[in-house]
Each structure stands twice: as structure tokens, then as C-alpha cells.
Amino acid sequence: MTPAAYAVLNLEAVQHNLQVVRRYAPDAKIMAVIKANGYGHGLLRIAEALQSADAFAVARVDEGVRLRKAGIKNRIAVLEGFTCVEELDALLNFKLDPVVHSFIQVEIFESRAEQDACAIWLKLDTGMNRLGFKPNEFNAVYQRLNRCSIIKRPISLMTHLANADDKQDATTLKQIRLFNETVAALGNERSIANSAGILAWQEALTDWVRPGVMLYGISPFADSTGEQLGLKPVMGLHSRLIAVKPIATGDKVGYSGTWTCIKPTTLGVVAIGYGDGYPRYAKAGTPVLVNGQRVPLIGRVSMDMITVDLETQPDAKPGDPVTLWGDGLAVEEIAICADTIPYTLVCGITQRVQIVEQRV
């Protein structure tokens, strides 16, 4: 018996999407971003599917340690770096490359005597105002780090784009120019582009690119789907009908009775809810595929169930297959219906959802 709610992960699609990155950035090395449990797809599963990437990036030290303990040999960058000596020791033990973005990190490095033990990514803040040194701090910080015996030289350099998904916004070119001007005197390796940078900004294609969401077949842009960009969606979320019944004019459906029936129809109950990661704020009208056909969500999403209007499928019956997103229904479209971004949907799949790997 198949579980009620399951996610099918197409690992061939992950490899296809990596090739798409290579087509967009043929001269760049690829740091595949697999933080947050591989954007909800499984950290080790995705790392194995992406063995041919030049490096991986994770957010936290413990994510990198998990990859090493599983035998992953690729270079691994840790995007949030470290905040204490214990974390640096773990980075050294497991040969993980921290992003260096704060003076506390510089001081910790200066207190160490090891030789060439740690490759780093020095991060410049060119306008995101999250992590990184300001351009006016860069030269002094670079000199200090360059004198630390523990750090492997040459030091790699990076910045992060705040608004690359908006192709009209001048911020991106300003960030790229500020970064290039600040590091102009150095020939060190550089990295700028996330998925949106790779897809929309030629100027961001430097030595290393850092694709995340596009590897999972998802578009970083609000006005397109991954499929329209030549990507293949990796995750499909599925369940089935567990009840089908008539409802009458005036009946209210679900918690708080937010949806009222205005003409007699057939109601379907699907075994999926926010307890599985289906978005609680998906609006009435959000499309759901029942037997491959679109029907609208009605009423509130509850923890374990949603309700749909089966007006167009009066013969549907309990057990019939339901797709929440995947083939024929882009996760990007569901994100719009739930006032969110597709990143949160795939990241939010919960433990209860059974994973089915697919390799064709």
C-alpha cells in the first residue's frame, strides 16, 4: 500500500538541471547549494546526485559535517561561517571551507598557529546588508587574513546579490561593479551569482557560480516556471482522495466556514495538509490535480486534510490520485496562490511525507 502523502524526487532531473547550469555558465566552476536539507529534497540524496559539482555549499557547520561523515569528498563551503573556536575546530577536522564575514572570525584566525589548514571564502557586503565586510573594510581585512598562517592562500572572494530575480532593477549591476572595483587589484577567484544571477546577469558569471533553487528545477523569477527555463522539476507532492460527498447550497466547508457552497456540488477530501508542508495560506481556488485534472481548493487548509470542489469530476472516488504540485502543476503556481515563494514550499515538506526516489 502506498502511503497517503508522498513526494516523488526525480534524481535524473537534478543532474539535468546541473547541465543547464553548465550551459548558462560554461566557463564557471559550480558550487551546488544544498543547504536546508537540499532545499527539502534530502541533503545526502542531493549531494550524491550532484557528485560531479565542483563544490557544495551548505549554510551551517553541522550540515557540512553530515556530508563528510557520509563520505562526500567534494569541497564544501559553509555559507554562515563560524562564530566560535569550537565551530572552527569542526571546520578544520572535517575540511570544510568557511565563509569569513565578521571581525570575530578574523580574530579567531589570528590566534591560531596551524599552517595552511583552512581554505576560506572572504565575503564582501555589496548591498545585501546581511553578511560580509563593507567595501571600505575590505583591504585591511584582506591584509590581516593574508597574514594568518592557518589560512590557505590565495583567498577566494565572494558577494551575494540581493535582488537578482528582478531583471529591471539596477541594484544588481551596482553590486557587481562595487564588488569588482573593490577586489580589482587581486587576481583571486571570485563568486557572485546565485540562480537568478546565472540566468539573468551575464556580468555575474565569474570563476564560481552558486546555483541553488534552479538545481531543483524551480525558477527564481516570479514570472516564469522552471520548465519555461529548460529546467526539470525535481519534486512532485502527491496524495489521494479519502472522501467524496455531495454538498448543498449554503453549506460551509472547513474551519471557520470560510467557504460557502453557492450551488450543489461534490466535495472531495484529500489527505494532505500543513502537517505535511502544504501551505496553510493557499487560497480558495488554488489548483489541485485530481486524476490529472485541475480542480479548485475550497475552504481552509487543515493539518491533515484539504477540501476540493469536484464539480467537474462527480465520478471521482476515494483512493483516486491527487497531485499538489509536480508534473502538470508547477510549484511556482502554487507559491503564487499561497502568497509565498516556491523555496518555502519545497523546504517545508515534513517528516511525515514519504519519499519515493525516481531515477528516470
Ligand X SMILES: *Cc1c(COP(=O)(O)O)cnc(C)c1O
From 167, 245, 252, 255, active-site residue: 255
User: Would you say 288 or 341 has its CB closer to ligand X?
Assistant: 341
User: Would you say 78 or 290 has its CB closer to ligand X?
Assistant: 78
Query: Considering the complex, what minimum distance in angstroms separates the CB of residue 114 from ligand X?
Result: 26
Give how far Cα 359 sits from Cα of 32, 61, 71, 329, Å: 19, 30, 21, 20
Query: Considering the complex, what minimum distance in angstroms separates the CB of residue 305 from ligand X?
Result: 31
d(CA 214, CA 194): 9
| 8 A C-beta contact, residue 216 and residue 39 | yes
Residue 35 bears catalytic tag: yes
d(CA 54, CA 240): 40
Query: Considering the complex, what minimum distance in angstroms separates the CB of residue 240 from ligand X?
Result: 31
Out of 160, 238, 240, 300, name the contact with ligand X by CB under 6 A.
160
Out of 41, 210, 240, 300, name the contact with ligand X by CB under 6 A.
210
Options 20-28, 82-90, 136-144, 194-202: segment touching ligand X (CB under 6 A)? 194-202
CB atoms within 10 A of CB 65: 18
Decide: is 194 part of the binding site for ligand X (CB under 6 A). Answer: yes
Binding mask 5-34 for ligand X (x = CB under 6 A): ----------------------------x-
Residues numbered 44 to 83 that lie near ligand X (CB under 6 A) are: 79
The set of residues, in sequence order, having a beta carbon less than 8 Å from that of 192 and lying 6+ positions away, is 158, 159, 160, 161, 175, 176, 179, 204, 205, 206, 209
Decide: is 300 part of the binding site for ligand X (CB under 6 A). Answer: no
| 8 A C-beta contact, residue 241 and residue 61 | no
Query: Considering the complex, what minimum distance in angstroms separates the CB of residue 5 from ligand X?
Result: 25
Options 102-110, 143-151, 188-196, 277-285: segment touching ligand X (CB under 6 A)? 188-196
User: Would you say 302 or 340 has its CB closer to ligand X?
Assistant: 340
User: Would you say 6 or 216 has its CB closer to ligand X?
Assistant: 216
Options 135-143, 172-180, 191-199, 295-303: segment touching ligand X (CB under 6 A)? 191-199
d(CA 48, CA 39): 14
Residue 255 bears catalytic tag: yes
Options 174-182, 192-200, 221-229, 288-296: segment touching ligand X (CB under 6 A)? 192-200
CB atoms within 10 A of CB 69: 10
User: Would you say 210 or 300 has its CB closer to ligand X?
Assistant: 210
Decide: is 211 part of the binding site for ligand X (CB under 6 A). Answer: yes
The set of residues, in sequence order, having a beta carbon less than 8 Å from that of 345 and lying 6+ positions away, is 277, 279, 325, 331, 334, 335, 338
User: Would you say 66 or 283 has its CB closer to ligand X?
Assistant: 66
Beta bridge partners of residue 76, listed in sequence order = 56
User: Would you say 190 or 240 has its CB closer to ligand X?
Assistant: 190
Query: Considering the complex, what minimum distance in angstroms separates the CB of residue 166 from ligand X?
Result: 13
The set of residues, in sequence order, having a beta carbon less than 8 Å from that of 117 and lying 6+ positions away, is 92, 150, 152
DSSP string, 67-132: HHHTT--SEEEETT--SSHHHHHHHHHTT-EEEE-SHHHHHHHHT---SS-B--EEEE-SS--SSS
SS3 content of the chain, % helix, strand, coil (to 5): 30, 25, 45
Binding mask 113-142 for ligand X (x = CB under 6 A): ------------------------------
d(CA 87, CA 80): 11
| Residue of 27, 92, 32, 37 whose CA lies nearest to 66 | 37
Number of residues that bind ligand X (CB under 6 A): 12
Q: Which residues are catalytically annotated?
A: 35, 255
Residues lying near ligand X in the complex (CB under 6 A) are found at: 33, 35, 79, 160, 194-196, 210-213, 220
